[in-house]
Structure 1
């Protein structure tokens, strides 16, 4: 487009990725009003907002500014799914009402996951050194665990990552154990520890610390 503006480029990239203004705002960590103002060029994204906006839209900041920077091709984005990255403190609320939680950002994943899948940043150390604090894990609630899989369970309001072990049934109810990797944490049993199985870990992401 010959007279394409910064606002035009934001809007066109957002629509090409099938994002609403609200969804894009959640990724960039601004209000949806800010996205609307940027697209109308009532205000301009700057600093960290510009960097996060470019990342969310799959392009270089220079593309948004003057139209000359690189842009991911539509083919490279084909087949990617968006998985919300939640704060661990918000997991219980997310499981009861997904619409009430504002998530950190959307992560892209090319696996065949259910629409209920989500990611969160690990805060405890029960699975170290296999899974470390600050690692990001993706959980699929629709995937039944197999023996030895890592699962997410809730104990009251606490989110627990553990290794799943099937342990027969009691009074017709299937029982399981949750085992940590770190020996400083106890094993848990569904028959005595009020556990609710949430889903199975399908991907672990570890980011290099600066």
Structure 2
């Protein structure tokens, strides 16, 4: 019976029809990464990612192959990209390949192939969104009133704000506002400056802040 977490993970992956390359891609890693883990052991910070990808508990990685392997929960790797990349996402997404991002988030949500994640910067969305929080954005989800969106407002970078529609203009185009939750920042309007919605938030991950 395999004893190391990487050995347990590879055995379960094989039983589910995943070769080493497919297993690595599911984690947002490379086959070379997995080969390195086989030699030196799996890094502790990847245990949760591997467990989620295989639909097992982290404990199962250390307890050997369980007698009953839970059904897969359907993990998916979402690239964490920069605000600049998000601003150009419509142009670069089709060229974006697995492994191009430095970091990935795992989710079991049913999302489009173009979904991505952003790290919240600054304090314009306090108190609900803290710096360092992560949000997953799906470009193929249309926003509803009150949703949070990533948008491009003429700057190079994308911004993250609350979406508030304001009705149609004379040309039949939807006029909307991008509203910060922090009143110290201005609201943006699509009839005053060009704004393009990049995608709608489908998941928000908060992280404990150091005291």
Which of 7, 26, 29 is residue 28 of structure 2 equivalent to? 26
1:133 to 2:117 alignment:
no
Partner of 2:54: none
Aligned residues: 195
Partner of 1:54: 47
Looking at structure 2, the residues matched to 174 and 35 of structure 1 have their Cα atoms a distance apart, in angstroms, of 49
Give structure 1 stretches of 5+ with no counterpart. none
The answer (yes or no) to whether the contact 1:153–1:197 under 8 Å persists in 2 is yes
Looking at structure 2, the residues matched to 69 and 52 of structure 1 have their Cα atoms a distance apart, in angstroms, of 21
Looking at structure 2, the residues matched to 138 and 112 of structure 1 have their Cα atoms a distance apart, in angstroms, of 12
How large is the RMSD of aligned CA atoms in angstroms? 3.3
TM-score (norm: length of structure 2): 0.73
Change (3 A) 1:152 1:34: closer
Looking at structure 2, the residues matched to 149 and 50 of structure 1 have their Cα atoms a distance apart, in angstroms, of 37
TM-score (norm: length of structure 1): 0.74
What secondary structure is seen at the aligned counterpart in 1 of 2:113? coil
What secondary structure is seen at the aligned counterpart in 2 of 1:97? helix
Task: Kindly indicate whether structure 1 or structure 2 has the higher relative contact order, using CA contacts under 8 Å at least 6 residues apart.
Answer: 2
Q: Deviations over 1:163-210 (max 9, x none)?
A: 212232243332211111111111111123221101112222111124
Alignment of 1:44-123 (within 5 A): 44-45=40-41, 50-58=43-51, 60=58, 63=61, 68=64, 73-75=69-71, 77-98=72-93, 99=96, 101-109=100-108, 111-123=109-121
Q: Deviations over 1:22-64 (max 9, x none)?
A: 525635xxx542323444xxx323xxx5213322211548936
Shift of 1:10: 4.2
Alignment of 1:180-195 (within 5 A): 180-195=180-195
Give structure 2 stretches of 5+ with no counterpart. 52-56
Partner of 1:206: 206
